[in-house]
Amino acid sequence: MIPGPASPWRGAGNDRESSLTAATHATIPPRYPFSAPDRLTLDPRYAQLRRDEPLIRVRLPFGEPVWLATRHADVKTVLGDARFSRAAAEGRDEPRNTERQVQTGILGLDPPEHTRLRRLAAKAFTARRVEQLRPRTRAVAHELVDGLIAAGAPADLVEHVATPLPIRVICDLLGVPVTDQDRFHTWAEAIVSTTSLSDEQAQRYLDNLFEYIGGLIAQRRRDPADDLLTAMVEARDADADRLTEEEVVRLAAGLLAAGHETTVTQIPNFVYVLLTEAGAWARLCREPELLPGAVEELMRFVPLGATAGFPRYALEDVTVGGVLVRAGEPVIVSIASANRDERVFADPDTLDLSRETNPHVGFGHGVHHCIGAQLARMELQVVLETLAQRLPGLRLGVPEAELSWKSGLLVRGLTALPVSW
């Protein structure tokens, strides 16, 4: 375990102050997140921090104080520099949003252990493999939009399209029965819950999810199939030293949960933004060639995270944003703030569907870059393409003020999105 020396604290001053330590500053770190999530609005404090204090000490609801990085370059440094470690959180009072400390599986590992597990699943998420899934995904999207239309306006886009499509795709890929979706979709909330579930309920959901995946793995041993679960089982059984049974179960459970949960949330988020930003939906329908770039712009523009987490611990003294981070100190990053950095993006608070240069970090960066990024891109493109083709007159089905938003989760999203056409 890395020792945790006294933590430096930077005041709101100039560059000279950036090297000062806790001995010269007694300021109590502010609570983080700075405010409760408000729809998809980004707290203006981030813009002020990027300008004046890009690395700041904050305190999450639980755990030790932590540095928060807000600029694009600093976020990429923390996520991509091997001097920052996820594995070093083991045994520490990790800064977090829940009282419980949950094992994060592959997200809590560094190379080479992380590489060993990631390599097992990576072949299923290559650009080539994902493109092979596009025709099937497109067919599913049209089928679901048929159901949306049949339900009659106003109909809930979350219920009829946004939830079932990513679930069906990841089920096909992994080899999980889609008929079990009501169970595992409920259990997956434990992965993204902060306060929406009690600690006991969250642990019960996780136990249920792991037990469920364990049963599927046992089934694949008896009856192999052409799916990722079978490939993982065969890799485990061919070399027991390479993977433990628990690692296979946790990796498969993580892929199932992460493989649908965030996309289920982002589909209605994207549609909401396109319908509420003046002229955006009409332009996308009129210029479908903008679609791939529009998805990237929405990934940049929409702040999915309600807070930041998964701290990296400095393995040695590192200077980030002009501030000295001591060995053993944790750092978290704001992806949403990085994606609005004025140093990287022109007019960052404006949705620009034709933005040409877009190095957003919406899928993360470094070794923990989202393994399903290509799959999520494809699904988002297909859903927006299908809605634009089938329902160019799409609009909110209720006044915007009547929309309800999720709470107590790591992600921001709508509980329902009633639409008319």
Q: Do the bridges between strand 312-314 and strand 323-325 make them parallel or antiparallel, or are there none, so unpaired?
A: unpaired
How confident is the model at residue 120, as a pLDDT? Answer: 78
Give kind and range of the element (H or E) at residue 200: helix 199-222
| Helix-helix angle 291-301:245-276, to 10 degrees | 100
User: Given a cut of 50, is residue 118 above it in pLDDT?
Assistant: yes
Q: What pLDDT is recorded for position 6?
A: 30
Q: Which one-letter amino acid corresponds to residue 1? A: M
Q: Is residue 10 part of a domain?
A: no
For 94-105, letters b (16+ CB in 10 Å) and e give bbbbbeeebebb
Structural domain contains residue 155: yes
Give the tens place of pLDDT for each residue, 328-363: 999 999 999 999 999 999 999 999 999 999 999 999
Percentage of the chain beyond pLDDT 90 is 60
Print the SS3 string covering 90-155.
Answer: CCCCCCECCCCCCCCHHHHCCCCHHHHHHHHHHHHHCHHHHHHHHHHHHHHHHHHHHHHHHHCCCE
CA distances from 51 to 20, 198, 364 (A): 19, 38, 22
Question: Tens digits of per-residue pLDDT, 188-228?
Answer: 877 777 777 788 888 888 889 999 999 999 999 999 988 88
Q: Is residue 113 part of a domain?
A: yes
Residue 7 reports pLDDT greater than 50: no
Kindly state the DSSP code that residue 364 receives in the 8-state scheme: -
What are 418's strand-pairing partners?
156
Query: Of 27-41, 145-159, 196-210, 360-374, where does mean pLDDT reach its minimum?
Result: 196-210
162-176, 244-258, 351-365: the lowest-pLDDT one:
244-258
Q: Answer yes or no: is pLDDT of 49 > 90.
A: yes
Q: Is it the case that residue 16 has pLDDT exceeding 60? A: no
CA dist 252 → 166, 173, 191, 210, 211 (Å): 16, 11, 13, 9, 11
Strand order in the sheet with 418-420: 155-156, 418-420, 395-396
Number of compact structural domains in the chain:
1
Q: Calculate the dihedral angle through the C-alpha atoms of 236, 179, 163, 233, rounding to the nearest 10 degrees.
A: 0
**Spatial distance between the Cα atoms of 249 and 222, rounded to a whole number of angstroms:** 16
Q: Which residue has the higher pLDDT, 110 or 14?
A: 110
Has residue 259 got a pLDDT over 80? no
The reply to whether 35 falls in a domain is yes
- pLDDT at 26 (0 to 100): 44
- Amino acid, res. 11: G
pLDDT at res. 103? 65
Please determine, for residue 180, whether its predicted confidence score (pLDDT) is greater than 60: yes
Q: Alpha-carbon distance 236 to 221, whole Å? A: 11
Residues in the chain: 421
Q: What CATH number corresponds to the domain at position 353?
A: 1.10.630.10
Q: What is the pLDDT of residue 248?
A: 84
Q: Which domain holds residue 143?
A: 15-420
- Distance of alpha carbon 372 from alpha carbon 367, whole angstroms: 13
pLDDT of residue 104: 67
> What per-residue confidence (pLDDT) applies to 188?
82
Query: What would the two tokens of residue 339 be?
Result: 């994606």
pLDDT band at 240 (very low <50, low <70, confident <90, very high): low
Higher pLDDT, 303 or 103: 303
Tell me if 269 sits within 8 A of 304, measured CB to CB. Answer: yes
- pLDDT over 60 (residue 3): no
Report how far residue 92's alpha carbon sits from residue 252's, in angstroms, rounded to the nearest whole number.
26
As given in the structure block, the two tokens for residue 382 are 């297909």
Q: Which of residues 234 and 356 earns the better pLDDT score?
A: 356
Asked if residue 311 is part of any domain, the answer here is: yes
Query: Looking at the predicted structure, is the pLDDT value of residue 15 above 50?
Result: no
Banded pLDDT at 410 (limits 50, 70, 90) = confident
What mean pLDDT comes out for the span 12-27? 39
pLDDT higher than 80, residue 4: no
In a domain, 310, yes or no: yes
Whole-angstrom Cα distance, residue 71 to residue 78? 11
Q: Kindly report, residue by residue over 66-105, the tens digit of the pLDDT.
A: 999 999 999 999 999 999 999 999 889 999 888 877 666 7
Q: Is residue 229 part of a domain?
A: yes
Can you tell me the mean pLDDT for 36-47?
92
Residue range 275-302, pLDDT digits in tens = 999 999 999 999 999 999 999 999 999 9
Helix 245-276 × helix 113-122 angle, to 10°: 70
354-357 CB contacts, 8 Å cutoff, 24+ apart = 354/290, 354/293, 355/293, 355/296, 355/297, 355/300, 356/293
85: three-class secondary structure by DSSP:
strand
Rounded to the nearest integer, the mean pLDDT of the chain is 87
Residue 3 lies in a domain: no
